[in-house]
Structure 1
Amino acid sequence: MEGKAAVDAGMPVIESASEGQLDALVATLSDAFEHDPILNWIFPDHRVYPDLFRLILRDSGLPRGMVQLEREGRGAALWLPPNIPFELPPGIALLKLVLRCLWRMGPGPLRRLQQQAGLFARHKPAEPHFHLQFIGARQRDQGQGVGAALLKAGLRACDIQHMPAYLECSNPRNLPLYQRHGFETGAEADLPNGGPHVWFMWREAR
């Protein structure tokens, strides 16, 4: 029994995140996405990632989305429910982030962000769906089932509402995980000027 308890204690426990956990969410996702192909292509300077995730979570994810956090802070995920577009309201925080990007990286990130948004918009399905915006485990906790637990928790919410799910994947190592959970590739494309390859994946309602 003691051995089983020790195993159970290490299993990921996924919970709905609250505004009071913003700092933990920012730290977790900034670490998890440090080597993400798309973010690295758009924003080569990793130092802006905490400010970026703080803005996304505070102004979009937590108020309008479904945000989940592993109990020990080992991973996090952000889903947008059906018919909720990804939007960042204009304000001082957004302006500061833009100016910081311009100062550190020049105009390149803004141009690449526009290219990425245009490509993603062309492939996004018109049918209502849950959109998996971000999912990741801290680098030290990868390979321990955290990502799978997060994905299962999010898809459970999709299935309760009998809604399909959609995501964009730029890391080929994650494809088997998504495929095991019912996602199929509907299209593929490359971001311009040597940008990463992207798989656009869909899971039918269950």
Structure 2
Amino acid sequence: MGIRIRQAEQDDRELVVAVMEEAFHDDPVSGWVFPDEEHRRAVHGRFLGVFVDAALAEGRIDIAEDAAAVALWLPVPAGAPEGEDPMPALMRQTADPDNERCELVGRLTGVVHPHDRAHAYLLMIGVRPGRQGEGIGAELVGAELERCDREGLPAYLEASSARSRALYERLGFRLLGRALELPDGPPMYPMWREPRMG
């Protein structure tokens, strides 16, 4: 397929948030965090903006040609993080202060996130609904996985649906432990990929 990929800059923030909001509007986890669709439409972009800001500041965001898809990556060093992760509280404070699920989803995924080895963390990938199924997401992720393979670096993510889990399995990710069950909500799938040598 051979899509062109460029790295996002700060000026791309609103574009990235818009692609993410469109891609994740009907996602099972987003529906759990914001069950009321009208309310989700009002606050979802602010919620996703926290992830976008983190990736712009500490990692990278890849944008596929014609902005059909974006992928947010963070480098994670080996060793347990010092102190409490401020991101879950920021997710709630920024998007929807009265909604504890905004914070809970971040805390629960933080508990299962491995820290024994340095790795590339696919924080989120979003493909516009009208472009899903074309292989754009796989190619966008695959470009970073090629780098991981060259550098001998594992990769990690949490799949938010059975459909996305199947895609990541095709890319070499395997379920790490067992699914994370959100309270009265959908499962999330922590997944790990060892680098492919040679």
CA shift at 1:90, angstroms? 8.8
Paired with 2:141 and 2:22, the residues of 1 have a C-alpha distance of: 18
CA shift at 1:16, angstroms? 1.4
User: 2:186 aligned with 1:165, yes or no?
Assistant: no
Matching residue within 176, 181, 193 for 1:203: 193
User: 2:52 aligned with 1:57, yes or no?
Assistant: yes
Matching residue within 56, 75, 91 for 1:81: 75
CA shift at 1:38, angstroms? 1.2
Question: How do 1:1-150 and structure 2 match up within 5 A?
Answer: 12-44=3-35, 45-58=40-53, 60-83=54-77, 87-88=86-87, 95=93, 97-98=94-95, 101-102=96-97, 107=98, 109-110=99-100, 112-126=101-115, 127-150=117-140
Query: 8 Å contact 2:88–2:106 — kept in the other structure?
Result: no
Q: Equivalent residue for 2:173?
A: 183
CA shift at 1:158, angstroms? 1.9
Q: Which protein shows a greater Rg?
A: 1
Paired with 2:121 and 2:128, the residues of 1 have a C-alpha distance of: 21
Paired with 1:177 and 1:78, the residues of 2 have a C-alpha distance of: 17
| TM-score between both structures, scaled by the size of structure 1 | 0.79
Task: Read off the aligned partner of 2:187 and give its amino acid letter.
Answer: H
Paired with 1:157 and 1:46, the residues of 2 have a C-alpha distance of: 36
Give CA deviations for 1:125-144 in whole Å, capped at 9, x if unaligned. Answer: 12221111100200111111
Q: Equivalent residue for 1:5?
A: none
Paired with 1:30 and 1:185, the residues of 2 have a C-alpha distance of: 26
CA shift at 1:94, angstroms? 7.9
Q: Which runs of 5+ in 1 are unaligned?
A: 1-7
Count of residues in Structure 1 that have an aligned counterpart in Structure 2: 185
Paired with 2:41 and 2:147, the residues of 1 have a C-alpha distance of: 32
Aligned-pair RMSD on alpha carbons?
2.5
| TM-score between both structures, scaled by the size of structure 2 | 0.82
Q: Equivalent residue for 1:151?
A: 141
Q: 1:94 to 1:198 in 2, by over 3 A?
A: closer
Paired with 1:197 and 1:203, the residues of 2 have a C-alpha distance of: 19
CA shift at 1:167, angstroms? 0.8
Give CA deviations for 1:144-201 in whole Å, capped at 9, x if unaligned. Answer: 1111111102212322321101111121111221111110112213111x21111111
Runs of 4+ off more than 4 Å: 84-91
Paired with 2:103 and 2:159, the residues of 1 have a C-alpha distance of: 18
Secondary structure of 1:78 counterpart: strand
Task: Read off the aligned partner of 1:130 and give its amino acid letter.
Answer: A
Q: Which runs of 5+ in 2 are unaligned?
A: none
Q: Equivalent residue for 1:3?
A: none
Q: Give the fraction of aligned pairs with identical amino acids, expressed as a percent.
A: 32
